[in-house]
Amino acid sequence: MAAPRPPRLDAAADEVARAAAAAPDWATLADTARSCVACPELAAARQHVVVGDVPVTGRPLVAIVGEAPGATEDETGRPFVGKSGALLDLLLGEAGLDRGRTAVLNVVKCRPPGNRTPRADEVGRCSGWLRRQLELLDPPAVVALGLSAAKWFLGPRTVLARAREAGPVEWEGRGLYVTYHPSAAIRFGPNGAPRAALAADLRHVATMVGARETR
Ligand code: SF4
């Protein structure tokens, strides 16, 4: 399907997009992103730009895209290493998807103060990094965790439950799967519907990318 592109709202967004597009490889992109100050409030408050985790070698089986770093991620500089990350790792393992063979990214690379939802201007500015990351990594499948990620791929009118129920769609030549964010699974508890749905969706993705057969 034709991907609705997040609006580039200002000169800072254009500058990020230019810098990201000029990065010839992951290491260059990561180095450049780590000094990004396009969002003054986030840049002033952050400890780290959380660029993302990628496999040591090879093309990732899947790119998992969340919303933004939380406190633990900001402290460590790595994505999904707090409570949500622990649950994600558990469910990936149960699904047969080795996290080391995935890319783990966020829509926004710097922690919004107080873990607030990233604003549209911040998402717009950071979009250049994520877009180039996906080009460089070239994963055959992408998992959007939660509403912010789903909106990044599918547009601002996206309704999470509806997008999930509609099933995977093609996004720029990749399979795009929309599911719940692990934080929602934690909020609704171990017997809640979001956790069961997230676990089922990760199992489905693992099967579709061949991870369960190659264990
Ligand atoms: S959130 Fe993204 S665009 Fe904004 S300062 Fe951080 S890396 Fe740059």
Q: What is the mean pLDDT of residues 41-65?
A: 97
Determine contact, residues 118/151, Cβ cutoff 8 Å.
no
State which of 10, 31, 109 you would mutate to test the pocket of ligand 1, scoring each by most atoms of that ligand within 8 A of its C-beta: 109
Domain ranges for the chain? 11-208
Task: Give residue 6's identity as a one-letter amino acid code.
Answer: P
Within 6 A (CB) of ligand 1 lie 16, 33, 36-39, 42-43, 49, 108-110, 122, 125-126, 129
Q: Does residue 83 register a pLDDT over 70? A: yes
Ligand 1 atom nearest the C-alpha of 43 is 5
State which of 14, 37, 110 you would mutate to test the pocket of ligand 1, scoring each by most atoms of that ligand within 8 A of its C-beta: 110
Sequence-distant (≥ 6) Cβ neighbours of residue 136 within 8 angstroms? 23, 25, 26, 29
Level-2 CATH architecture, domain 11-208: 3-Layer(aba) Sandwich (3.40)
Q: What are phi and psi of 4, to 5 degrees?
A: -65, 125
- pLDDT band of 52, cuts 50, 70, 90: very high
Identify the residue whose tokens are 């290491």.
27
Q: What are phi and psi of 134, to 5 degrees?
A: -65, -35
- Burial state string for 73-92 with b = 16 or more CB within 10 A and e = fewer than 16: bbeeebbbbbebbebbbebb
Reported in sequence order, the residue ranges of 24-120 that DSSP labels E, i.e. its strands, are: 62-66, 102-106
Residue 206 Cα, ligand 1 centroid: separation in angstroms?
A: 31
How much is the mean pLDDT over the chain?
A: 94
- pLDDT band of 105, cuts 50, 70, 90: very high
Q: How confident is the model at residue 17, as a pLDDT?
A: 97
Q: Does residue 201 register a pLDDT over 80? A: yes
Residue 16 Cα, ligand 1 centroid: separation in angstroms?
A: 8
Q: Does residue 20 register a pLDDT over 90? A: yes
Determine contact, residues 42/110, Cβ cutoff 8 Å.
yes
* Two tokens, residue 90: 């558990």
Sheet holding 62-66, edge to edge: 102-106, 62-66, 141-145, 174-179, 169-171
Residue 193 Cα, ligand 1 centroid: separation in angstroms?
A: 33
Distance, in Å, from the CA atom of 82 to the CA atom of 202, rounded to the nearest integer, reads 19
What is the reported pTM? 0.94
Q: Does residue 1 register a pLDDT over 80? A: no
Residue 108 Cα, ligand 1 centroid: separation in angstroms?
A: 6
Residue 38 Cα, ligand 1 centroid: separation in angstroms?
A: 5
Residue 75 CA, distance from chain mean position: 18
Q: What are phi and psi of 36, to 5 degrees?
A: -70, 135
Instruction: Name the closest-CA residue to atom 2, ligand 1.
Output: 126
